[in-house]
Amino acid sequence: MRARRSSFATAGSASVRAVVLILLVLGMAQGASGKGPRRGAVKATPAVLREKVQAALARSDFAEAHKLVDDSYRQAPQPEKLFLLAQVAQAEGQAQAARDLFRRFLADMGTEGPQSQKLAQSAVAGPLLPSGEVNVEGDRGALVYVDDHPVGVLPLLTPLWLSTGAHKISVLSGSKRQEEQYKVLAARKADLRFNLSSDVVVATLQPAALLVLFPTASEGQKPLSLSSDEVSALEQGAQSALSGKPFGLQTQSVALLAAPHLANCLADWNCQKTLGEENQANWLLLLSVEVTQRWRGARDLKLRLAAHDPAIAEPAASAERMCTACTADKAKQIATELFGVVVPEATSRPRGTLIVQSVPDGAEVHLGARLMGHTPLKRTVWAGTYPLVISKRGFSPLQREVTVTAGQRQTVEVTLLLGTLGDATKVPSSLLPEYSEEPSNPAKTAAGLRPRWRIVTGASAVVLGAVTVGFGISALAVNNHCVAGLQDASMQCGQIYDTLPPGAALTSVGGVALLAGSMLLAWPG
């Protein structure tokens, strides 16, 4: 046995020497041919790697800098390389990518020096950028890539902090790679669960309510702007009320980062709806604020809140509150109370689906006085009973009552007959029931409200005018008539009424008062 071992060792040693000699010869030949190792394959120390990366950045060779760090990170994913990746992203102008890498470098940091810590902390604490969080889950030890650049190893200690917009997010474990094209939304959290064995990626977006806050005023008046302190207080109140709810709060300032072209139309329902759709909001919280300036700088805030499902124009719930001599603390308190009442009521309201089909297609569908669309129609509506009118040019309109059940689909199928409408393009108003699903727009609703003083003054003017007109008509009626009891035996009148001037005056004054009072009561706003 010993002899065999010795012979085997000797033979093995000879083989090893032969292999080494061959490799040396091949290496010399490769050197002579000018072909070195693959460019970017980094086996250098961190200090050498850092120098090479800095040299590449100095000559603005971002591709080379990325390749150096990317290759090195694949070979040995170390926290200090996240710092280098962040520096490369920063040099490229990818501010949010750099912040994400710096943030996770701080979370994963090993023995890196305090100077690097300070630089990373400064970058993370920078100004707000349009970004969202993506939590990536998958096989332990798998490399995570964003837009084909490595950014970490699973499990990540912090979620990815990515700029808004589309990103390619992928994981690599051994020879298995899985990727997902994902659109990041501002101030939204999402989960991406990768399963390399089944090749399935499950994406979950955190539900969110979008707060749209805008000033309003009575008709004919210019809305007063809200101060930054007032806006902040109202947003904090909303956030406090929604704490513990299964969805987050997205403010309009953040939402507008993804749709800045909508900044000047936020009092309009279609604009509000579009902003919600751009941010995939589950709820729209429309808060209008009417500001009244008082003496000595004090301000009153009238808050009107309407909660909408973006798919339904009619609000699920609404309410209003008054904040007199409003301070920031008081505004926050009242907003918390207001949102605490409206949001639970709205989120608990049931809804269903209404489907309307007609023969022929293209018929108008009215929900009460509101045009919903044309057949074939599929709309989400609040559960309840609704009057419907279905009409088309040249056909007789049909009126139906339909009940939509919570969580169910209600289908209405009709066949229209040629008949009475002829060439009319509109349904006669007499056929439309007294029902309206107009969106609750606080800016418009405010114009229809009449102040109490107008109601009291108008009613008083109407009553006083009516009484005055009555006296005036009575005076005009007895003008030139004999005063009762002043006739002599021959039936000659000793004295007649001369009431034309006061009668005319009383009738005129009373008529003016009556007209003024009626206008105060009838004129909107």
DSSP code per residue over 19-76 = HHHHHHHHHHHHHHHT--SPTT---S-HHHHHHHHHHHHHTT-HHHHHHHHHHHHHHS
Q: In the prediction, which pLDDT does 159 show?
A: 92
Residues of the chain with pLDDT > 90: what percent? 36
Q: What share of the chain is helix, strand, coil (3-state, %, to 5)?
A: 40, 25, 30
Note whether 391 and 421 are within 8 A (CB).
yes
As a whole number of angstroms, the distance between CA 271 and CA 274 comes to 5
- Mean pLDDT computed over 34-59: 68
Q: In the prediction, which pLDDT does 363 show?
A: 94
Q: In the prediction, which pLDDT does 525 show?
A: 53
Residue 437 — pLDDT band, cuts 50, 70, 90? very low
Residue 3 — pLDDT band, cuts 50, 70, 90? very low
Does 84 have pLDDT greater than 80?
yes
Classify residue 370 by burial, with Cβ atoms within 10 Å: 0-12, 13-18, 19+.
Answer: middle
- Mean pLDDT computed over 415-442: 53
CA quadruple 126, 127, 131, 133: dihedral positive or negative? Answer: positive
Q: Which of 163-172, 362-371, 457-466, 494-503 has the highest mean pLDDT?
A: 163-172
Higher pLDDT, 476 or 236: 236
- Mean pLDDT computed over 146-170: 92
Q: Indicate where the chain has its CATH 1.25.40.10 domain(s).
A: 37-126
Does 142 have pLDDT greater than 80?
yes
The DSSP letter of residue 483 is P
- Mean pLDDT computed over 245-271: 87
- Mean pLDDT computed over 474-481: 76
As a whole number of angstroms, the distance between CA 51 and CA 524 comes to 75
Q: In the prediction, which pLDDT does 144 show?
A: 95
The HSE-up count of residue 14 (CA atoms within 13 Å, CB side) is 6
Domain covering 130-206: architecture: Sandwich (2.60)
- Mean pLDDT computed over 214-218: 88
- Mean pLDDT computed over 21-25: 39
Higher pLDDT, 498 or 136: 136
Mean pLDDT rounded to a whole number for the chain: 80
CA quadruple 470, 472, 476, 481: dihedral positive or negative? Answer: positive
Q: Which of 241-250, 316-325, 473-482 has the highest mean pLDDT?
A: 316-325
Residue 39 — pLDDT band, cuts 50, 70, 90? very low
Q: In the prediction, which pLDDT does 247 show?
A: 82
Q: In the prediction, which pLDDT does 116 show?
A: 75
Domain 210-347 has CATH 2.30.30: no
Q: Indicate where the chain has its CATH 2.60.40.1120 domain(s).
A: 351-443
Classify residue 326 by burial, with Cβ atoms within 10 Å: 0-12, 13-18, 19+.
Answer: buried
The DSSP letter of residue 212 is E
Q: In the prediction, which pLDDT does 115 show?
A: 66
Rg (CA), the chain: 39
Does the pTM surpass 0.85? The reply is: no
Q: Which tens digits make up the pLDDT trace of 373-410?
A: 899 999 999 998 889 999 998 999 999 899 999 999 99
The answer to whether the peptide bond before residue 360 is cis (omega within 30 degrees of 0) is yes
Note whether 101 and 85 are within 8 A (CB).
yes
- Mean pLDDT computed over 109-117: 62
Q: Indicate where the chain has its CATH 3.40.50 domain(s).
A: 210-347
Fold of 351-443: Immunoglobulin-like (2.60.40)
Higher pLDDT, 275 or 30: 275
Q: In the prediction, which pLDDT does 494 show?
A: 62
Does 4 have pLDDT greater than 60?
no
Residue 220 — pLDDT band, cuts 50, 70, 90? confident
The DSSP letter of residue 496 is B
Q: Which residue has the tokens 């989400």?
A: 380
Taking Cα atoms as reference points, which of 389, 377, 435, 434 lies closest to residue 416? 389
Higher pLDDT, 316 or 474: 316
Domain 37-126 has CATH 3.40.50.300: no
Helix (H) or strand (E) holding 180: strand 176-184
